[in-house]
Amino acid sequence: MLIGMFVSEWATAEFYLGLVLGRLLLAPEYLSRTYTDSLGAAQLQDSIRQAVGIQKERYSGKLVADDLLDEVLALNRKIEHLRSLRNKFAHFCWMRASDEEMFGTNFSGAAPNDKRHKRSFASLKVDEIRQQHQELFRAVERLRTIVGEIPEVSEEAAIAAFKASRDGL
């Protein structure tokens, strides 16, 4: 159950990371989601780092406050740290070793002394999984509020600006 809770929370984190990226790039939500929905987590997080850099260098806090941009970067790093656990959940077959521990394997065909073999299994305490889920949950809750703190570009405003530019107004 804990693995399912973590993976479900991860999907929510990716959704909000996509919204944050769209807001940082000054794109209407529908347009940005058509792009961000096809990005993997690593690409999405790298794009956020780049977008924060653009915001800081080009706009110098005029659109998004520097302290909020710093917080976005900090949350992005925290979520990036949790991505390795998400990857283990997604790519390993997990079973209960005991009431307190889970064991996962990717059924690697590597030789026993190969370094791939050492990465082909993992053991996690249930309390560790619970703690990581809570950490991810808190990060997602903050991402949700950050989305509201970054100005939204409405689709109607973007269309009007485009039409005005095209028509020479």
Q: Sorting pLDDT into bands at 50, 70 and 90, what band is 118?
A: low
Higher model confidence: residue 91 or residue 12?
A: 12
Sign of the torsion formed by the C-alpha atoms of 153, 155, 158 and 160: negative
pLDDT at site 161:
87
pLDDT at site 121:
79
Mean pLDDT value of segment 86-98 = 87
Nearest to 86 by CA among 53, 40, 52, 32: 40
Burial class (CB in 10 A: 0-12, 13-18, 19+), 79: buried
Q: Sorting pLDDT into bands at 50, 70 and 90, what band is 108?
A: low
